[in-house]
């Protein structure tokens, strides 16, 4: 039994998933406590600030995450690979600083009176996100198999952060203090990612070159221009994906009020809690899919279909269970003031079925060089979500926002595949490929 538990603890998926589950569960727990202790209005303010913070992430990452991993892996030598990695990190740090400043100014203008009590905390939160640039080191370490130390270290930091957040709420320090802690947590995780990378990339004996140190000397503008050129589609796609994932909350606050936004944010958190599963597993499976694609198209399709089946089964099971238990679950967790969110949860949870599959489809589009299609799907999904919210919220209230989310997620996550000839053919190949060795011709157009 002990050997089995040790084996489970060492499993890559368990290490990565455990850390992210704790992180998302901690976020959900804080939302629940804020809702219970402070009510829908405070929940709305907290969620609005965190939503603006979520908009900052895709702006600063420049669409480089998976692209950098792919570029480093295909570099002609180790030094070139490291130069690409460090160049991408510098680009993200610069972008993070610029967009954090613009986000702070924009948020101050958007909510001038409500924002004032949380101004300093939000500034720390936005600046702390600069350190998200160092997640590139984590992706690189995951590809090389150095994942356990980082995953369990981040798990420890997440637990410490949760304790700190619970303490500030217990002592009545308010949601402004929560933003401080989240910002400092971003910084701590970034430093950890960098230090573990340095530990695995020490300079060889008698070498004057600092292999593991992020210095300006590593920046290469030629690599930078090539990365930015290739990532432009992914960057815009990432921004649009957050728009269609988060715009509903902003529109509820504008079209109804902050309390309605608080109710919606609280119950939708239950749906979003599960998204950590496909997000983590997709990162875990990406290197396998990439290697399989390089060796065999049929083998790649079989592997992709297997993972799609797993993801769909998980998402469908979660959706059915949450739909059934939503009526007693919402008042139990959040209190009677949040009962209007029961129907929201019963609608919103079904969007997860499409979100689960989208994580794998997103990996497929990158691997097969179809980044512009990813951008198109997110762009149309974002426009569709805004229009549906504008139409349905005045008619149906927060239920309308849930329906808008479900419809736009369904299109942008899956049904967009039917509007491209290439993806229609690949979808058909995915369904008909067999494990018996039958070769499916690779799509090249």
Rounded percentage of the chain residues whose pLDDT exceeds 70: 78
Euclidean distance between CA atoms 79 and 321, whole angstroms: 50
Residue 301 has a CB neighbour count (10 Å cut-off) of 22
Higher-pLDDT residue of 190, 13: 190
Give the pLDDT confidence of 33-54 residue by residue, as tens digits: 887 777 777 778 788 778 778 7
Question: In this predicted structure, what is the pLDDT of residue 4?
Answer: 36
Q: What is the mean pLDDT of residues 144-158?
A: 70
Integer-rounded Cα radius of gyration of the chain = 22
Band (416; pLDDT cuts 50, 70, 90): confident
Mean pLDDT of the chain: 77
Euclidean distance between CA atoms 259 and 408, whole angstroms: 24
Question: In this predicted structure, what is the pLDDT of residue 309?
Answer: 86
User: φ and ψ at 370, to 5 degrees?
Assistant: -115, 40
Band (282; pLDDT cuts 50, 70, 90): confident
Give the pLDDT confidence of 364-377 residue by residue, as tens digits: 887 877 767 777 88
Kindly tell me if the per-residue pLDDT of 15 is higher than 80. Answer: no
Question: In this predicted structure, what is the pLDDT of residue 391?
Answer: 93
Q: What is the mean pLDDT of residues 163-189?
A: 83
Rounded percentage of the chain residues whose pLDDT exceeds 90: 8
CA dist list (Å): 56 to 8, 53, 137, 186: 35, 5, 20, 13
Give the pLDDT confidence of 70-111 residue by residue, as tens digits: 666 666 667 776 777 778 778 888 888 888 888 778 777 766
Higher-pLDDT residue of 21, 311: 311
Give the pLDDT confidence of 237-258 residue by residue, as tens digits: 777 777 767 788 888 888 888 7
pTM equals 0.69
The residue assigned the tokens 């989208």 is 358
Kindly tell me if the per-residue pLDDT of 203 is higher than 60. Answer: no
Question: In this predicted structure, what is the pLDDT of residue 392?
Answer: 92
Question: In this predicted structure, what is the pLDDT of residue 76?
Answer: 66
Band (20; pLDDT cuts 50, 70, 90): low
Band (319; pLDDT cuts 50, 70, 90): very high
Residue 211: name the closest of 93, 68, 92, 82 by CA.
82
Question: In this predicted structure, what is the pLDDT of residue 112?
Answer: 58
Question: In this predicted structure, what is the pLDDT of residue 73?
Answer: 64
Burial class of residue 206 in the structure, from the number of CB atoms within 10 Å of its CB (0-12 exposed, 13-18 middle, 19+ buried): exposed
For the ranges 131-140, 386-395, 408-417, the maximum mean pLDDT occurs at 386-395
Question: In this predicted structure, what is the pLDDT of residue 422?
Answer: 79
Band (349; pLDDT cuts 50, 70, 90): very high
Q: What is the mean pLDDT of residues 189-215?
A: 64
Give the pLDDT confidence of 116-138 residue by residue, as tens digits: 677 777 788 888 888 777 777 77
Kindly tell me if the per-residue pLDDT of 296 is higher than 50. Answer: yes
């Amino acid at each position: 039994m002990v050997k089995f538990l040790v084996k489970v603890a060492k499993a890559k998926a368990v290490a990565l998933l455990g850390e992210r589950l704790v992180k998302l569960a901690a976020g959900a727990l804080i939302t629940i406590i804020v809702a219970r202790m402070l009510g829908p209005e405070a929940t709305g303010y907290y969620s609005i600030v965190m939503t603006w913070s979520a908009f900052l992430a895709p702006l600063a990452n420049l669409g480089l995450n998976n692209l950098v991993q792919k570029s480093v892996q295909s570099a002609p030598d180790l030094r070139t690979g490291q130069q690409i990695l460090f160049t991408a990190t510098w680009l993200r740090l610069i972008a993070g600083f610029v967009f954090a400043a613009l986000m702070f100014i924009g948020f101050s203008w958007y909510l001038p009176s409500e924002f004032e009590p949380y101004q300093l905390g939000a500034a720390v939160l936005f600046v702390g996100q600069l350190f998200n640039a160092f997640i590139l080191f984590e992706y690189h370490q995951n590809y090389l198999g150095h994942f356990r130390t980082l995953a369990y270290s981040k798990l420890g930091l997440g637990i410490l952060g949760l304790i700190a957040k619970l303490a500030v709420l217990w002592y009545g320090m308010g949601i402004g203090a929560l933003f401080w802690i989240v910002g400092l947590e971003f910084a701590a995780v970034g430093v950890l990612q960098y230090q573990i990378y340095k530990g695995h990339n020490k300079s060889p004996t008698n070498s004057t070159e600092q292999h593991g140190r992020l210095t300006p000397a590593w920046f290469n503008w030629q690599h930078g221009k090539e990365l930015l050129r290739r990532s432009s589609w992914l960057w815009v796609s990432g921004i649009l994906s957050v728009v269609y994932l988060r715009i509903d909350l902003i529109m509820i606050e504008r079209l109804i009020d902050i309390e309605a936004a608080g109710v919606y944010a609280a119950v939708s958190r239950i749906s979003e809690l599960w998204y950590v599963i496909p997000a983590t597993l997709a990162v875990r499976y990406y290197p396998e899919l990439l290697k399989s694609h390089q060796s065999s198209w049929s083998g790649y399709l079989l592997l992709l279909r297997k993972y799609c089946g797993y993801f769909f089964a998980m998402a469908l099971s979660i959706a059915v269970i949450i739909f059934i238990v939503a009526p007693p679950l919402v008042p139990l967790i959040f209190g009677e003031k949040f009962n209007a969110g029961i129907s929201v949860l019963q609608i919103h949870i079904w969007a997860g079925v499409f979100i689960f599959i989208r994580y794998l489809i997103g990996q497929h589009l990158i691997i097969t060089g179809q980044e512009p299609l990813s951008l198109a799907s997110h762009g149309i999904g974002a426009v569709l979500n805004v229009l549906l919210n504008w139409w349905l919220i005045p008619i149906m209230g927060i239920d309308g926002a849930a329906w808008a989310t479900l419809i736009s997620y369904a299109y942008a996550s899956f049904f967009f595949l039917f509007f491209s000839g290439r993806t229609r053919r690949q979808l058909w190949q995915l369904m008909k490929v067999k494990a018996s060795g039958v070769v499916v011709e690779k799509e090249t157009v």
